[in-house]
Amino acid sequence: MQVDIGNALAAVADPGVSRDALERLDEDVARAHDGIAAGRADDEFGYAALNLPERTDAAAIEAAVEPVADAEAILTVGIGGSALGAATISEALGGLDDEGASADAAPLYVLDNVDPAHVREILAEVPLDRTAVNVVSRSGTTAETLSNFLVVREAMEEAGVDWTERTVVTTGEAGPLRELADRHDMPALDVPTGVPGRFSALSAVGLVPAAIQGHDIEGLLAGGQRAADSLSSSLFDCPGYAYGAVSYALAQRGAGINAFVPYAERLEFFAEWFAQLWAESLGKDGLGQTPARALGATDQHSQLQLYRAGPRDKVVTMLRPQERADHEIPETDIEGLSYLGGSTLGDLLDAEFEATEASLAAADRPSVRVEIERLDAEALGELLYAMEAACVLYGELANVSTFDQPAVEWGKRAARGLLGGGEFEEAEAVADKTELIVE
């Protein structure tokens, strides 16, 4: 993995970071790295996430999913970090092997919302008797997750399917889900202690669907470990830290929006995962950088106009694999299109990538290039870990509490109170809503 920050330098971009400013910032990076290393050594809350590559037991995950290894579909029931990591990994690795050939991988469906129409559509689409269900909740009491799981369980019972034989549970050491798994002797894996959900992709939380699909779990962890081994006291020696430090420096200079643009369809979910990681971790105390999601080359025909010619409040992160399976563009004698013949779709996508990067630079707009060698398990594991490390470093530099999410918890309490789940003052605030209705 490599990160090119050249187009974020002040000589190229406005806002931008000068080389002198980067050198000064590197002193802060060294101090922040020492704090991160100490947190990892003590397995402190949050910092423990950066120890997952060496502590996650791939064999235990593979053993737990063995009873549902015959699944023709996988249904993850979770929300936020309990679903996005799994969706990101399975979407990136599922469907095609590393050479671009079709792979026999069961498709993943995700129930991470309680929209009743969506839930009904998913349940109507999956073959319930041949579906593996992975329900994920640390507490075992997450309202959205448990509601959806109860609906799935009822649908299976009505279809004559023994849901206990099709379910793998990922949860904390205690709670309703753990008790349910113990009562019905269902496979149960642990949500790692001390790890916020959005940082848990390289654990059982994110790896169960990929394991059922037969993907290289050990490779994902090896890639994560490679990124962990790259952590150092200088941003110039560590791709993850380089990305986190430059993102922080640009935000300090007015780039309060980070448009994350992968140039690979299989990485579209990665942008979703990044958005949660960045927003929930760094949006504190009036600080943070707002993530925006786009897809190259599709959104060059829509959002790029704003990024190049709108307010100077953005940095564009462009992500691509250097190697990919390709498909030749057929020759044609159609006037104006003949130049495409003999090229490939990959050539065109790379040209779109480089043209966008140059377009932004020509307009003095900052961008950062992130590249992985190819989209395989090891490279994906390295990318996931590097972005987590980047986020932690940004939080250290900004002096925010990276690992909590008080605004999220406020909303949870309000929703629970509205549903009659207890007395919560947050629920009472709903009645104070100001109205100005136009009909």
Number of CB atoms found within 10 A of residue 100's CB:
12
CA distance 157 to 159: 5
- Residue ranges of E strands in 209-265: 257-262
Residue 432: Cβ-neighbour burial (10 angstroms; 0-12, 13-18, 19+): exposed
Tell me which residues are annotated as active site. 280, 301, 412
- CB burial string 150-182: b at 16+ within 10 A, e below: ebbbebbeeeebebeebbbbbbbeebebbebbe
**Matching residue, tokens 């100001």:** 434
Backbone angles phi, psi at 297, to 5 degrees: -95, 0
Helices 239-252, 377-398: axis angle to 10 degrees equals 40
CA distance 27 to 323: 35
Compute CA distances 44 → 41, 49, 327, 402, whole Å: 8, 9, 48, 13
- CB burial string 409-423: b at 16+ within 10 A, e below: eeebebbbbeeeeee
Query: What is the widest separation between alpha-carbon atoms in the chain?
Result: 72
Residue 19: Cβ-neighbour burial (10 angstroms; 0-12, 13-18, 19+): exposed
Backbone angles phi, psi at 388, to 5 degrees: -65, -45
CA distance 341 to 337: 8
